[in-house]
């Protein structure tokens, strides 16, 4: 898990297991500190600031989780 600030809230970001992300082409170096990353996901419906990530765009590559 990770956190991010969005719309004035601190969100918990739920990602796929590391092994799945790496198997689909998302390498650690692509998400190193200071590197821009776009996360696309869906917030939980019960109102908490938690988002499940479905897609990561990093290093010019889009990875479906």
CA atoms within 13 A on the CB side of 34: 1
8 Å CB contact between 20 and 54: no
State pTM to two decimals: 0.80
Q: Could you give phi then psi for residue 60, rounded to 5 degrees?
A: 75, 10
Would the pLDDT of 64 be above 90? yes
Q: What percent of the chain has pLDDT over 70?
A: 100
Instruction: Say how far apart CA 30 and CA 44 lie, in whole Å.
Output: 26
How much is the pLDDT for 2? 85
């Amino acid at each position: 898990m990770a956190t991010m600030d969005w719309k004035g809230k601190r969100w918990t970001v739920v990602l796929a297991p590391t092994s799945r992300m790496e198997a689909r082409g998302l390498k650690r170096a692509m998400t190193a500190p200071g590197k821009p990353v776009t996360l696309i996901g869906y917030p939980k419906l019960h109102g908490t600031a938690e988002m499940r990530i479905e897609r990561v765009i990093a290093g010019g590559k889009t990875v479906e989780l």
